[in-house]
Structure 1
Amino acid sequence: MGSGEPLNHPCPMTTYAHRTLLLALSVATVATTVTAAAPVARADAPGTNGPALTWRPCAEPGGLSGQECARLPVPLDYRDPDGPQIGLAVTRVRSERPAARRGTLLVIPGGPGGSGVRMLATKGPALRKAMAGAYDLVSFDPRGVGGSTRAGCELDPADRHLVTLRSWPGPDGEIGGNAARSRRIAEACRRHGGAVLRSFTTVNEARDIDRLRRALGEEKLSAWAHSYGTYVGAVYAQKYPRHTDRWVLDSSGDPDPARVGRGWLANTATGADDRFPDFAAWAADPARESEGLRLARRPADVRPLFLALAAKLDREPKGSSTPGVPLTGNRLRQALQDALESDGLFAEVARLIQQAQDPAAEPVLPDTLAGPLPDQDAAATMATVCNDVRWPASVPAHRRAVAADRARHPLTAGMPVNITPCGFWQAPAEPPTRITADGPSNILMVQNRRDPNTPYFGALKMRRSLGDRARLLTLEHGGHGAYLANGPVCGDRTVTAFLTTGRRPQKDTRCAD
């Protein structure tokens, strides 16, 4: 999830560098209604209704022109609002057409572990063009991420690799090593993370957003929330409904308060199965011949090829171009999970498969698999989901779950239901937020049908929880992240129209490539 995408959430543990790579008009037409078309009223002048923000230019060469940055103080513990403060890195790009400006659009990053500052820098040009001056664009680094106050666990480097932070079972499905590592990681975070690490929760992120709203002097915010950020956005809309304007939830997970984090991870087993046929069709396409990346003559042959290769690497890991880091079956499986997020990543994993098959080739590992995450990044990806809700810790129960899941979903080999450090974490400080239908009807959900990280069936549970507050736009497409990323043009147009004009489908609808 550079800051990593998460251990146990809708964007499981891929780096933000991959997020930046996820960057055909449909004949579908949808009936629309207008919601909140008038300009949004501002609160008092910025800083008078919340902490003052001191903005400075921070645009990078070749980046988003006019980008500014500031630091927002927030309470370490909202039960003691005047007590110790920590700082959040925030960023904005002002509307280039003040006469057209109607408010502030908040970009809520995925993760836990995703950087909103980076997301705005990379997605900002396309978003600014789409919004045509309707908003100031604002985002932030959540607690523990990027330029915000951070915390670490002093984990051993071997425990910070993606395939060890993620609980991939042993080659025979054994999880004893996962359980020992998970306990070791949780104990290290308890010893070294302190109050700062314990403050990394979804509800605190929602509170921080409201503090940012007040610092901006806005009565209401509009938002584009991505992946795990959709849960943050839903929690904010639940706790602060009168401060929401036009709310977009892009690639949502199941909001069941008993299973947040754990359920998201478990659902990725089905998500990988749903998405893999897209990769198989691509890898068997004759067009791959000229690229040297065709893996099979028929799409149906790609899956058994991949599974057999992963099993062989379980038995006989192959040396890679990274000294001391071999290509194992689990590293290959993790590479596939990362690549399923976007068609643009298919070539990377196909090339790795080719190198693994060639006795004379030395596999080149993706950057995400070649070394350990920085300690603070590893801590950030775990802490929020572990702090949000209690996870089960029974090793025998996890062993049974892993055995069943390996049989049902061999692509993910039992990892999505395996034991994690959350099973040995401290008890949550407060219960998770239940998402309900109470609140204004101003939410548009957008969802790819074949999303490997936030599968469609999980998004349907978010849709049911929100009731008449939301409309769902289903995109007959594959990949994670829909708006301005992996979705078809008809989806982009519908989301843009909602944010800029207030027109929203009258009922749940869909569009195709």
Structure 2
Amino acid sequence: MISARRRSSVVRSPVLAASLAVLLVATGCTAGAPGKDQSPAGEGTAPVDAGAPEGFESFYGQDVVWTECRSDFECATVAAPLSWSDPDAGEIELELMRTRATGDKIGSLLVNPGGPGGSGISYLEAAAGSLGERVRESYDVVGFDPRGVRSSTEVACYDDAAKDEYLSEDADLSTDEGLEAAGESSAAWAEACAENTGELLGNVDTQSAAKDMDMLRAALGDDELHYLGFSYGTSLGATYAGLFPDRAGRLVLDGAIDPRIDSAEMSAGQAVGFENALRAYVGDCQAGPDCPLSGSVDDGMQQVRTVLDQAYDRPYPTDGDRVVTQTLAFYGIAVTLYDEQSWSLLSQALDEAINSGTGSTLLFLADFYNDRNADGSFATNSTEAFTAINCLDYRSSDDVDVMREEAAAIEEQAPTMGSFFGYGGLTCAAWPYPLAEREYDLAAPGAAPIVVIGTTNDPATPYVWSEGMAEALDSGVLVTYEGEGHTAYGRSNDCIMDAVDDFLVDGTVPEDGLTC
């Protein structure tokens, strides 16, 4: 996800770009729904309860009962502890979906598409076909919704109408009045999350989710965790390796986040990433026919900024009863930068705004980003989970002078997009739970080789972050995709596909520094 204004940190699922490119919105599977067949985990997948923390043995040793929920998928519900520090605190539910290995099975491959707050179930349903054929032959591919996310026991904050208003709000953060209004809005959101979620809200940190993955590994019958994580999912995978280095099997982390940087550095890096991606789009647009942007690339960047500024002064009308605020216009522009296949949609949206003064396509794109349905409901709780997880993992300073200094530095580096990445400290200033205390070594000493993939012009997770993660991990191996867009595996080229598939299936570690 993007860090825009009240959103304090980064990233978004690669399934977003893949779905947008073909104008599809993924829907999830309701685990446990009536189906044709119910069966336990099956031969060779009996639970492996060794390694369970004291008091949590029953979670590690539980049987996973799969139910057919789509023609090509099976779903299951498993129990997880509410708190990994207190086995008596109660239970939550985690929802899983899988495709069975079509050939000789190595084990299970857990996948996470990012966010934080992205649904692994939605990812698997939308993007299972983008996985390499040999991977699908060799693994039961298991998507899961992490704690707090969507079809698992979820974080809840506002109702749909109030959430719609919250996601559309504009504020002039350069003024004291605007800062105060934004702070009050964030505080009200935090209060609603606490009231409607309860104690789960303090237990959705990445470290707890990584412990869930070890429990899932055991319940699925694997001695080691094999894992494919994108975007924020790289943080989840690296956290797992740090907590359980001796159980880390074949881990692939695509579109990585440098674990050594703080929230302010993330916001600045991502602002520059989106600025660079927008420049690439503008140059490509102006090199072709019918581009709504004229003049030089710098001229085109300024025209995009003008669209954003006009949305603040005079929100764009649409073909319905809603208008496009500046915040919605930003989401509508940014979402297309995750994949160059979506650039034509950005051209359409800008053409409408510049030449017709309307924002219907911008609104469609913003709604897509926010998982908002046409009827005003929301398909997922990605916004709620995003905030809740980040506020336990990272905090930016909420000191006004510090925020203004950081915002000015960001805007200097990213003059077109940077104003949407400052003041992240507002988001968690009133959060009712403290930061989670880290229990692991960032270097994951003793872990097997971990493949880290970076894309050179990735807007959401800039390439330098992948370099940083590979450097931070003792066993990190960096693979580079030279190209545009967010993440690489499943959307780039055969070089990336072969390197990942050979590693996951054969255990062949790619050459450190491989460039595709």
- Class of the TM-score when normalised by the shorter of the 2 chains: 0.7 to 0.9
The equivalent of 1:54 in structure 2 is 65
The equivalent of 1:20 in structure 2 is 19
Matches within 5 A, 1:365-384: 365-367=362-364, 369-370=366-367, 374=378, 376-384=381-389
**2:180 aligned residue (158, 176, 182):** 176
**What is the alpha-carbon distance in structure 2 between the residues aligned to residue 426 and residue 295 of structure 1?**
45
**What is the alpha-carbon distance in structure 2 between the residues aligned to residue 108 and residue 78 of structure 1?**
21
**How much does 1:367 deviate?**
3.5
**What is the alpha-carbon distance in structure 1 between the residues aligned to residue 200 and residue 235 of structure 2?**
21
**What is the alpha-carbon distance in structure 2 between the residues aligned to residue 15 and residue 423 of structure 1?**
29
**1:496 aligned residue (484, 487, 501):** 501
Letter in 2 for 1:191: E
- SS of aligned partner of 2:459: coil
- SS of aligned partner of 2:305: helix
**What is the alpha-carbon distance in structure 1 between the residues aligned to residue 387 and residue 14 of structure 2?**
14
| Contact residue 284 and residue 296 of structure 1 kept, 8 A | yes
**How much does 1:197 deviate?**
1.8
| Contact residue 269 and residue 416 of structure 1 kept, 8 A | yes
The equivalent of 2:294 in structure 1 is 296
The equivalent of 1:462 in structure 2 is 469
Matches within 5 A, 1:299-448: 299-323=297-321, 325-359=322-356, 361=358, 363-367=360-364, 369-370=366-367, 374=378, 376-419=381-424, 420-428=426-434, 430-432=436-438, 433-448=440-455
| Contact residue 323 and residue 359 of structure 2 kept, 8 A | no
Cα 1:316–1:249 shift into 2, 3 Å? same
Letter in 1 for 2:398: A
Q: What residue ranges of structure 1 are gaps of 5+ in the alignment?
A: 24-41
The equivalent of 1:36 in structure 2 is none
**Deviation string, structure 1 residues 110-147 (Cα, Å, up to 9, x no partner):** 11111101111122123252425121111211112221
Cα 1:398–1:9 shift into 2, 3 Å? closer
**What is the alpha-carbon distance in structure 1 between the residues aligned to residue 165 and residue 14 of structure 2?**
12
**How much does 1:263 deviate?**
3.9
* Range that drifts further, 360-369 or 439-448: 360-369
| Contact residue 329 and residue 362 of structure 2 kept, 8 A | no
- SS of aligned partner of 1:81: strand
| Contact residue 171 and residue 311 of structure 1 kept, 8 A | no
Cα 1:238–1:115 shift into 2, 3 Å? same
| Contact residue 47 and residue 219 of structure 2 kept, 8 A | yes
The equivalent of 1:28 in structure 2 is none
Matches within 5 A, 1:222-301: 222-256=226-260, 259=262, 261-286=263-288, 288-289=289-290, 293-296=291-294, 298-301=296-299
The equivalent of 1:79 in structure 2 is 85
- SS of aligned partner of 1:483: coil
* 1:147 equivalent in alignment to 2:145: no
TM-score normalised per structure 1: 0.84
| Contact residue 169 and residue 418 of structure 1 kept, 8 A | no
Cα 1:132–1:86 shift into 2, 3 Å? closer
Letter in 2 for 1:305: Q
Cα 1:390–1:329 shift into 2, 3 Å? closer
**Deviation string, structure 1 residues 47-79 (Cα, Å, up to 9, x no partner):** 76521111000115xxxx2x1100010000112
| Contact residue 45 and residue 220 of structure 2 kept, 8 A | no
Identical columns (%): 27
| Contact residue 46 and residue 63 of structure 2 kept, 8 A | no
Q: What residue ranges of structure 2 are gaps of 5+ in the alignment?
A: 23-42, 50-59
**2:131 aligned residue (127, 132, 138):** 127
**What is the alpha-carbon distance in structure 2 between the residues aligned to residue 73 and residue 195 of structure 1?**
16
The equivalent of 1:186 in structure 2 is 190
**How much does 1:452 deviate?**
0.5
| Contact residue 327 and residue 365 of structure 1 kept, 8 A | yes
**What is the alpha-carbon distance in structure 2 between the residues aligned to residue 154 and residue 114 of structure 1?**
18
**What is the alpha-carbon distance in structure 2 between the residues aligned to residue 331 and residue 171 of structure 1?**
19
Cα 1:443–1:84 shift into 2, 3 Å? same
Letter in 2 for 1:285: A
Matches within 5 A, 1:65-104: 65=72, 67-97=73-103, 100-104=104-108
Aligned residues: 471
